[in-house]
Amino acid sequence: MADPINPMQAVQAYSNTAKGAEAPGMDAPKGPGFGDYMRDAAMKSLETMRAGEAASARAVAGEANLPEVVQAVTAAEITLQTVVSIRDRLIGAYQEIMRMPI
Protein backbone atom coordinates (compact mmCIF):
# COMPACT_ATOMS: atom_id res chain seq x y z
CA MET A 1 0.00 0.00 0.00
CA ALA A 2 1.34 3.44 -0.87
CA ASP A 3 2.39 5.91 1.78
CA PRO A 4 -0.33 8.40 2.65
CA ILE A 5 0.11 11.90 1.28
CA ASN A 6 1.24 14.35 3.94
CA PRO A 7 -0.41 17.75 3.33
CA MET A 8 2.28 19.55 5.32
CA GLN A 9 4.96 18.31 2.91
CA ALA A 10 2.93 19.68 0.00
CA VAL A 11 2.54 23.04 1.74
CA GLN A 12 6.28 23.17 2.48
CA ALA A 13 7.16 22.27 -1.12
CA TYR A 14 4.79 24.94 -2.44
CA SER A 15 6.26 27.47 -0.03
CA ASN A 16 9.79 26.65 -1.19
CA THR A 17 8.75 27.11 -4.81
CA ALA A 18 6.99 30.40 -4.05
CA LYS A 19 10.06 31.77 -2.23
CA GLY A 20 12.15 31.15 -5.33
CA ALA A 21 9.63 32.98 -7.52
CA GLU A 22 9.58 36.03 -5.22
CA ALA A 23 13.32 36.61 -5.33
CA PRO A 24 14.50 36.76 -8.93
CA GLY A 25 18.25 36.53 -9.36
CA MET A 26 18.69 34.59 -6.15
CA ASP A 27 19.51 30.92 -5.88
CA ALA A 28 16.64 28.48 -5.99
CA PRO A 29 15.49 27.21 -2.59
CA LYS A 30 17.04 24.01 -1.33
CA GLY A 31 14.98 20.86 -1.15
CA PRO A 32 12.20 19.48 -3.31
CA GLY A 33 9.77 21.82 -5.03
CA PHE A 34 6.03 21.49 -5.45
CA GLY A 35 6.45 19.88 -8.86
CA ASP A 36 8.78 17.26 -7.38
CA TYR A 37 6.26 16.47 -4.69
CA MET A 38 3.44 16.12 -7.22
CA ARG A 39 5.58 13.91 -9.49
CA ASP A 40 6.44 11.62 -6.55
CA ALA A 41 2.78 11.40 -5.51
CA ALA A 42 1.78 10.53 -9.09
CA MET A 43 4.46 7.83 -9.29
CA LYS A 44 3.30 6.30 -5.98
CA SER A 45 -0.28 6.35 -7.27
CA LEU A 46 0.75 4.53 -10.43
CA GLU A 47 2.65 1.93 -8.40
CA THR A 48 -0.43 1.30 -6.26
CA MET A 49 -2.66 0.94 -9.32
CA ARG A 50 -0.21 -1.46 -10.95
CA ALA A 51 0.00 -3.53 -7.77
CA GLY A 52 -3.79 -3.86 -7.73
CA GLU A 53 -3.78 -4.85 -11.38
CA ALA A 54 -1.04 -7.44 -10.80
CA ALA A 55 -2.87 -8.89 -7.79
CA SER A 56 -6.04 -9.22 -9.86
CA ALA A 57 -4.11 -11.00 -12.61
CA ARG A 58 -2.54 -13.39 -10.07
CA ALA A 59 -6.01 -14.11 -8.63
CA VAL A 60 -7.36 -14.98 -12.08
CA ALA A 61 -4.41 -17.32 -12.56
CA GLY A 62 -5.08 -18.87 -9.13
CA GLU A 63 -1.72 -17.78 -7.72
CA ALA A 64 -2.89 -15.30 -5.04
CA ASN A 65 -4.96 -15.61 -1.92
CA LEU A 66 -8.18 -13.64 -1.52
CA PRO A 67 -7.17 -11.25 1.33
CA GLU A 68 -4.08 -10.16 -0.62
CA VAL A 69 -6.16 -9.43 -3.72
CA VAL A 70 -8.85 -7.57 -1.78
CA GLN A 71 -6.25 -5.41 -0.03
CA ALA A 72 -4.45 -4.54 -3.28
CA VAL A 73 -7.66 -3.78 -5.18
CA THR A 74 -9.03 -1.67 -2.31
CA ALA A 75 -5.80 0.34 -2.14
CA ALA A 76 -5.98 0.90 -5.91
CA GLU A 77 -9.62 2.00 -5.66
CA ILE A 78 -8.88 4.49 -2.86
CA THR A 79 -5.90 5.81 -4.81
CA LEU A 80 -8.04 6.32 -7.91
CA GLN A 81 -10.71 8.14 -5.89
CA THR A 82 -8.03 10.40 -4.40
CA VAL A 83 -6.54 11.20 -7.81
CA VAL A 84 -9.96 12.02 -9.25
CA SER A 85 -10.74 14.26 -6.26
CA ILE A 86 -7.45 16.14 -6.64
CA ARG A 87 -8.04 16.53 -10.37
CA ASP A 88 -11.52 17.95 -9.75
CA ARG A 89 -10.17 20.45 -7.21
CA LEU A 90 -7.37 21.54 -9.55
CA ILE A 91 -9.85 22.09 -12.38
CA GLY A 92 -12.12 24.04 -10.02
CA ALA A 93 -9.22 26.21 -8.87
CA TYR A 94 -8.17 26.86 -12.48
CA GLN A 95 -11.72 27.84 -13.43
CA GLU A 96 -11.91 30.17 -10.43
CA ILE A 97 -8.64 31.86 -11.44
CA MET A 98 -9.89 32.26 -15.00
CA ARG A 99 -13.03 34.05 -13.69
CA MET A 100 -10.95 36.63 -11.80
CA PRO A 101 -10.90 40.10 -13.32
CA ILE A 102 -7.56 41.29 -14.65
Q: Is the dihedral of CA 75, 49, 34, 95 positive or negative?
A: negative
Q: Exposed, middle or buried, 88 (CB in 10 Å: 0-12/13-18/19+)?
A: exposed
d(CA 13, CA 74): 29
- The band of 29, judged by pLDDT with boundaries at 50, 70 and 90, is low
Is residue 96 one of the residues assigned to a domain? yes
**Within a domain: 69:** yes
Number of domains in the chain: 1
Structural domain span for residue 96: 33-102
For residue 16, tell me if it sits in a domain: no
Q: What is the pTM of this model?
A: 0.62
| CA neighbor of 58 nearest in space, from 68, 46, 49 | 68
Lowest mean pLDDT segment, chosen from 18-22, 57-61, 80-84: 18-22
Q: Is residue 27 part of a domain?
A: no
The predicted structure's pLDDT at residue 75: 93
